[in-house]
Amino acid sequence: MGSRHFVIIGNGISGITFARHLRKGDDQARITVISGESPYFFSRTALMYVYMGQMKWEHTQPYEPHFWRKNRIDLKQAWVKTITFESKTLVFDSGETLNYDILVLATGSKPAFFGWPGQDLKGVQGLYTKQDLETMEAITSQPMEHAVIVGGGLIGIELAEMLTYKKIPVTFLVRENRFWEQVLPQAEANLVQKHIIQNSIDLRLETELKEILSDAHGNARAVVTSSGEEIPCSFVGIATGVTPNVDFLKNTSLAIGNGIKVNTYFESSLPDVYAIGDCAEFDQPPGPGRRTLEQVWYTGRMQGETLAYSFCHKPVTYQPGVWFNSAKFFAIEYQTYGWVSPEKVDGERDFYWEHRDGKVSFRMAMDQEGKILGVLNLGFRLRHEFCDRAIREKWSGEKVMQELGKGVFDPEFYAPYHLEIQAAYQRQFGGVFLPSKKSFFQKLFGVSQ
Amino acid sequence: MRVIQGIGLVLFLLGMLVFTVLPFLSSYRLTEDLVLDQVKETHRETLAELLQPMYGQVYPSTHAFLTAYSSNFDLYNEELKSKQAWDQVIWDDYGFALAKAAGDGPARAHPWTSLALSIGLVVLGGVLFQFAGAGPAHASLTHTGVFHSSLKNRGVLGILTGTYLIGFYVILYWFPAYLSPLVWMVEPIAQFLSGGPASQWFLYGLVYTLAIGVMGIRMVLKYRDNKYQQLRTASVVFFQTAFAFLIPEVLVLLNKPYFDFKNIWPLDYDFFYDYQMDTFLSSGGLGLFMLIWGILLIVLGVPVFTYFYGKRWYCSWVCGCGGLAETVGDGFRHLSDKSLKAWQWERWMIHGVLALAVVMTSLTIVNYFSSFSLLGQVTNQLHSFYGFAIGSAFAGVVGTGFYPFMGNRVWCRFGCPLAAYLGLVQRFKSRFRITTNGGQCISCGNCSTHCEMGIDVRAYAQQGQNIVRSSCVGCGVCASVCPRGVLKLENGSEEGRIHEFPILIGNDSIKLRS
């Protein structure tokens, strides 16, 4: 094929995974990765840990600088102003240009703002980029009476944890009637909400942001909520979701919907132009139950490796496997495998168990015949391989229960929650399996159930 | 709670102040009787005469006393050395013994009060500080703030702490006479436990054990939701208190050889030295048992336990150095260097020390059984070099003094020959590994940041690869800081333990080797 020049815009997980796998499969390719945000690939998910003094910035970078030289991946720190697709040319902010043979757009997302009055005031921001982290650090380094967070999802609760670290009191506005309503069933949401309140967060459900008020210097001084209440604050964290970062492409010949329109080969409307990760919008869902926009770390990584494979071997379509995701709400860990619907679905069987301390739970969704569709677990860890296999092979709920001990991924000597889960399942659904017994060590160390 | 924490801190600092000042509050008066009492029979006459000018004089400080001692004593040795009369040179250092015997001061007059006001206050203040600072019950394990801390992120407090520790170790190993006033205050405890006098090593052992105990409480509170951390902390506290501190002293009380049953060659580098062998072989059944026990640990204990559980069974559950690192050093774990370069240095250094220990010990054994005909006294010089460079400077001064600079496992990672031996077994023949949970890693880097051994855990985890590294001591903190529950320490089948070509779960498009 000779030496093609691949230019990747965006050095997040999608773009970098693509670049790495391309180099593994193609020794000849010339590879350039462009980012204005940071010279090196870093883990966006770790921004909160830098803020909380748990990591330093350099710890967020998974590869040392010599890695890029060794793998002949050229890094260029610059913002792309526009792209002339006809001549395959990128134009940078500086006026400089760069030509490509193949262009991979992996520009990610940006926080979604919904046109609230006052959203451009100082002290109002999302948390997505390195620059967001820096402005947030600068603003909250001053003593602060109060902060407000808008949006009951993953970034929202991260922001709450970050501000709590700085001992800044937080009011947390959630539009829906429960936290992370699109994903968490009511019982799990209750569990997480209790934990949020325990961490001294003023949680307001069914409350929307109406307006942000300004002081004389253009700083946020208060928010007005949908109930008309005015809450004084000098920081407003916007966490109402993300939207593809494609503004700079909007007046070009490239087809743009919510994101960059692609087929399951990641091909855009233009030749030799591809899009992967958060910014790519599929013309049809890539699998049953999947969305046309996938804005998750894991899917970005899979898309990057799939497209690289297509260039190095033969073109393949993107076929994600069993869904999975994970997060952490203050101290409570969340994992899900397969599909667990947040609302009751007719014809599905549903098993839910919660530990009496209210910090651990397990839910298994089953179809009409009792075959597993998915699990959602809080406060303890399950083995990905185990859950993936159970869902893929459509195990019966009973079989999942019988084998559950093998699926636990908690550290050694942890409380054997699966024993209680098995007993609860048997009480609700019966079944002939033998629940596991406490091991010698579990008895010896008196681990509580 | 904040007030109690503050009180704890003040008590702790007061105790440290008293501990630091006490050595300066002593005066010395030497008599001939004291010299005759402290000195070996063969040297009595010579020293009693040499030190004549000091008798009856009052020296207001340890330094003045030692200066006078040297000025009277050194000339004698120097003259013999210049005549090359090596066999007449007095190699023994009587500085500590004479200072301890000739000294007087508050710690000698009131040992219990001095002990209470120094080490006692440090322990009390430390315990108060830990309990009051533990935070509310729901506030689970957290490592936040370590990089905003002056103490824990090489700030002024960190530099001061490191300097203090380094100073303490330098004095302990090479100028112990300066610590003699502190040794007075632990004299009654030593008399009670072993029936004999306290040495600087007894003082050190007591301080070491208390430090592990107090900071062990911190560990248990910090990891209140983590049974693995609590159990292994309890284990190191137990082994330090019972095996390293109490049992050897009680053995002495019973007129048996001083012996730490959990110390293993080559960490216990003098195990095969001639004087040790003589002790084992001349102490009847128990002496012989100690020799056989020590050898069994080396040839059977290490490989068998490491095969089943990984080197963690020793390094983070039993070992004294590990015990200190995991308790006192826990707050510094993130300071270890994770670069590839550091790993390269590590492999050369730790295996170099292992090779040195093996060569030295082999020569020693050969020499011993050939009745010193082969090498004569050459092994002694090898021993003193190893003891100085590795045993004292590396393991002690650098090993602990560098906690606030390079993390809490500098010795274990770069120097410990036993860790090297355990690591070779762990790498090539063991059931232990850290498992990665399918495709759940988000490359955040918490695992690598908080790995005390400087392993870039993330490099494996983000590829879905098991972590099998000779240096891993199995502390379990990577699994605990991981916000996505990706890592788990496991003992399992050897098959598939090392993934050359791991596959991340979740993408059906391809089966890609990452």
CA distance A55 to chain B (A): 7
Compute the Cα dihedral for A332, B479, A242, A167 and give only its sign. positive
Task: Determine how β-strand A30-35 pairs with β-strand A5-9.
Answer: parallel
Candidates B225, B485, B512; nearest CB to A309: B512
CA distance B481 to chain A (A): 10
Torsion of CA A53, A55, A56, A62, to 10 degrees: -160
Q: What is the C-alpha separation between B223 and B233, in angstroms, rounded?
A: 10
Q: What is the C-alpha separation between B80 and B93, in angstroms, rounded?
A: 16
Structure tokens at B383: 């021993």
Q: Which of residues 375-414 of A touch B (CB under 8 A)?
A: 381, 383-385, 388, 409-414
- Residue B137: what pLDDT? 62
**Phi, psi at residue B487, to the nearest 5°?**
-115, 140
Domains of chain A: 5-109+243-312 (3.50.50.60), 124-240 (3.50.50.60), 324-445 (3.30.390.30)
- Residue A437: what pLDDT? 74
| A46 interaction partners in chain B (CB closer than 8 Å) | 443-446
Structure tokens at B406: 């390079």
CA distance B350 to chain A (A): 24
E strands in A72-156: 73-77, 80-84, 89-92, 97-99, 102-105, 109-111, 124-125, 147-150
CA-based angle B171:B177:B180, to the nearest 5? Answer: 105
Task: Determine how β-strand B103-104 pairs with β-strand B27-29.
Answer: antiparallel
Torsion of CA B115, B118, B119, B122, to 10 degrees: 150
Structure tokens at A394: 């459509």
| B434 interaction partners in chain A (CB closer than 8 Å) | none
Contact B488 A54 (CB under 8 A): no
Mean predicted confidence (pLDDT) in B412-421? 98
Q: What is the C-alpha separation between B362 and A447, in angstroms, rounded?
A: 47
Mapping DSSP onto H, E and C, the string for A355-388 reads CCCCCCEEEEEECCCCEEEEEEEECCCECHHHHH
Candidates A316, A328, A333; nearest CB to B510: A316
Task: Return the closest-CA partner of residue B234 out of B208, B215, B247.
Answer: B215
First-to-last alpha carbon distance for chain B, in angstroms, is 50
Q: What is the C-alpha separation between A21 and B513, in angstroms, rounded?
A: 9
Q: What is the pTM of this model?
A: 0.94
Contact A62 B140 (CB under 8 A): no
Query: Who contacts A280 (Cβ-Cβ below 8 Å, separation ≥6)?
Result: A105, A244, A259, A260, A262, A266, A293, A294, A303
Query: Who contacts B385 (Cβ-Cβ below 8 Å, separation ≥6)?
Result: none
DSSP secondary structure letter of residue A338: E
Q: Tens-digit pLDDT profile for chain A (449 aa)?
A: 568 999 999 999 999 999 999 999 999 999 999 999 999 999 999 999 999 999 999 999 999 999 999 999 999 999 999 999 999 999 999 999 999 999 999 999 999 999 999 999 999 999 999 999 999 999 999 899 999 999 999 999 999 999 999 999 999 999 999 999 999 999 999 999 999 999 999 999 999 999 999 999 999 999 999 999 999 999 999 999 999 999 999 989 999 999 999 999 999 999 999 999 999 999 999 998 899 999 999 999 999 999 999 999 999 999 999 999 999 999 999 999 999 999 999 999 999 999 999 999 999 999 999 999 999 999 999 999 999 999 999 999 999 999 999 999 999 999 999 999 999 999 999 887 776 777 776 666 554 43
**ω into B266 cis (within 30 of 0):** yes
- Residue B140: what pLDDT? 56
Q: What is the C-alpha separation between B504 and A246, in angstroms, rounded?
A: 29
Contact B142 A66 (CB under 8 A): no
Contact B438 A383 (CB under 8 A): yes
First-to-last alpha carbon distance for chain A, in angstroms, is 61
Contact A275, A260 (CB under 8 A): yes
Mutation target to probe the A interface, by most A beta carbons within 10 A, among B477, B507, B513, B514 is B507
| A324 interaction partners in chain B (CB closer than 8 Å) | 438-440, 505-506
pLDDT tens string B324-345? 999 999 999 999 999 999 999 9
| Mean pLDDT score across all residues of chain B | 93
- Residue B135: what pLDDT? 72
Size of interface A-B (CB pairs under 8 A): 170
Candidates B339, B445, B509; nearest CB to A46: B445
- Residue B397: what pLDDT? 96
Reduce the DSSP state of residue A119 to 3 states and report it.
Answer: coil
Contact B445 A317 (CB under 8 A): no
Candidates A64, A322, A326; nearest CB to B485: A326
pLDDT exceeds cutoff 80 at B141: no
